[in-house]
Structure 1
Amino acid sequence: MKTYIFPGQGSQYVGMGKPLFAEFPAYVEQASELLGYSISELCLADPNKQLNHTQFTQPALYVVSALAFLQQQKQQGAADYLAGHSLGEYAALFAAGAISFETGLKLVQKRGELMSKAAPGAMAAALNISESNLKGALAESNLNAIDIANLNAPDQIVISGLAEDINQSQAFIEQLGGLFIKLNTSGAFHSRYMAPAQTEFAEFIQGFEFKTLQTPVIANVTAQPYHHADIAQHLIAQITQPVQWTKSVEYLLSQGDMEFLEIGPKKVLTKLVQTIEKQFVMPVQHSDVTTPSNIQAGITPQQQVAHWNSTYPVGTEVFIKGQITPYKTRTQATLQFGHRPTLYLHGFGGYFHLTDLRPAKQLAPIPVTA
């Protein structure tokens, strides 16, 4: 199996996309007309020094990644799975057929504009320190206004917040033996400080419709495959929620022998995947255990919800399918759209289907009725 992965902001460089622009001139012309400026000039020459400004970076990376996918598709065909890091998720959705090239560009253009207008903030990478130790250090130092933005690898976590708080965190991170690297960003991306941008984007995205996914796409906010009905919801949540890249790659690795091919500028994600692979342990499958996720025949969605809520209280530890880290539920099970049994977990913005969850402690099987 193979997965195409698409990079996010930070992978841009002057000169990117040159052979692609020559190969797909119609797409380049369409992008330039929609944006109101020459996308090829921005990427190849950047005469006004705008490529590293968020409102220009995001459309540029999307266009180059989308064209790189079209080239890759001609050479090697479709992938079994798709995933993108933050902004890269839009290129993944384009590759999956959920959005057109034009729709994706309109969305990322608006996303970039809104994020660039957000209140000033800062981001930093904390290396060689675990998520639990990092959260503990931030809490003990009263830096609760800092959010986890990206969980890029087991030893690479990005934090986001006000510049003063980010600067103060350096000493506490280094005391734990971690390496602190300030990132060259103007905003506190994937944090609570993006809430105004998220609100406006939520209104903007209502004007778009999404097509059926032709290839599974792993969502940043859940590290699980998208459901068609959740596309807009996940793209909205992604603006303030952390990028669950480590868990996304772990999910893909748990599917079996997986090859990852990075589509777009540079190979930042390829290095992260290699780091995650080195520490990944394939979860043991217990197919003989009776759980709510493997005994669905003859059980209605309403019965699944009723059984879960009568058996498992809020705060129950559960495993997400294909993962070995437990998470606690933060709501009771509910019936979404009249037919989908779901619930929400701490640490995730979107909901999970009950069939994708397994309680850490088995209490009672679902009663089967004729």
Structure 2
Amino acid sequence: MRARIFPGQGAQRKGMGDGVFGDFPELTAQADELLGYSITELCLEDPEGKLRQTRYAQPAIYFTNALLHLSEHGEPAGFDYFAGHSLGEYNALVAAGMLDLMDGLDLVRGRAEAMAGVTGGAMLAVIGLSRNQVESLLLSESVAAVYIANWNSDQQIVVAGDRSGIRAFGKEARKSGATKVAPLSVSGPFHTPLMNPARIEFDRALARCAFKPGDVPVVSSTTGELVDPVHLRNLLSTQISSPVQWVTTVRTLREFGVTRFSEVNGTTLTKLDREID
């Protein structure tokens, strides 16, 4: 069985989608009108360095993911499951037929704006410590207001929270044997309870969106379970302030019989999947 997987924020890079925007002029024109700027210029040239900003990075990644998928597979046929890492889950829903592409872009724009509005936090990728070790460190008296944000693989966990807490956690992680501790270039403490203001703001956008049953099942990166379209609004709202369970997602797909993973827009998730037992 095959699963198509879509990356989320962090996959952005200048030049992404080169050669694909011209294949979908109508969709690209609609995206420009919806966003109020040229998505092609942003992705291919990024003249003002906006791809580093959440409010621009998320729509750019989502739209590029969508067009790259369409250019290779216009219909859901050929894949048994879809999944996406955080933001990439919106692409999975579109590919599965649960969400219209342009409705998804409108949602992603609102999501990005809401998430960009929460500042003052930080995120840190930790390599070489198990989840149990990270959880033990988070209980340390010297670490406060820090949470697991992404369980990306057996070798990579991302934590997020208050900046002072993140600095303290980084020191403790190095002392405990982490082989690498790397800050992420993001504006806030994504996928933690500190993002609840963004979740509440985004709820208004979700209330206006309609979801469909879909043609292919999607495994959620928040729950690691099959997505129920009836509960999608609550799931996508919760996603903003809940940790990404990518390890659980991949293990669920494997339990369903998936042996081949096909990623669009890079190899970020493919590399992580190799680190998941």
User: TM-score, normalising length from structure 2?
Assistant: 0.96
User: Post-superposition shift, 1:137?
Assistant: 1.2
Report the residue type matching 2:137 in the other structure. Answer: A
CA distance in 2 between partners of 1:240 and 1:101 (Å): 24
CA distance in 2 between partners of 1:86 and 1:190 (Å): 9
User: Post-superposition shift, 1:144?
Assistant: 3.9
CA distance in 1 between partners of 2:158 and 2:39 (Å): 29
Q: Partner residue of 1:197?
A: 198
Q: Which has the higher contact order (CA 8 A, sep 6+)?
A: 2
Shift of the 222–41 alpha-carbon distance from structure 1 to 2, 3 Å rule, reads same
Output one character per residue of 1:224-278: Cα deviation in whole Å (capped at 9) or x when no partner.
11011111111000000000000100011112252000012x21001001111xx
Q: Partner residue of 2:242?
A: 241
Q: Partner residue of 1:39?
A: 39
Q: Partner residue of 1:207?
A: 208
Asked whether the 8 Å contact 1:150–1:242 carries over to 2, the reply is yes
Asked whether the 8 Å contact 2:9–2:61 carries over to 1, the reply is yes
Q: Partner residue of 1:96?
A: 96
Q: Partner residue of 2:110?
A: 110
Secondary structure of the residue aligned to 1:140 is coil
Gaps of 5+ in 2: none
* Paired residues for 1:1-370 under 5 Å: 1-74=1-74, 77-178=77-178, 179-264=180-265, 266-276=266-276, 279=277
CA distance in 2 between partners of 1:254 and 1:142 (Å): 39
Aligned residue pairs: how many?
A: 276
Q: Which protein has the bigger helix share?
A: 2
Q: Identity over the aligned pairs, expressed in percent?
A: 39
CA distance in 1 between partners of 2:63 and 2:100 (Å): 12
RMSD: 1.3
Secondary structure of the residue aligned to 1:113 is helix
CA distance in 2 between partners of 1:244 and 1:103 (Å): 25
CA distance in 2 between partners of 1:184 and 1:122 (Å): 8
Shift of the 257–93 alpha-carbon distance from structure 1 to 2, 3 Å rule, reads closer
Asked whether the 8 Å contact 1:119–1:193 carries over to 2, the reply is no
Asked whether the 8 Å contact 2:75–2:95 carries over to 1, the reply is no
User: Post-superposition shift, 1:78?
Assistant: 3.2
User: Post-superposition shift, 1:45?
Assistant: 0.7
Shift of the 75–206 alpha-carbon distance from structure 1 to 2, 3 Å rule, reads closer
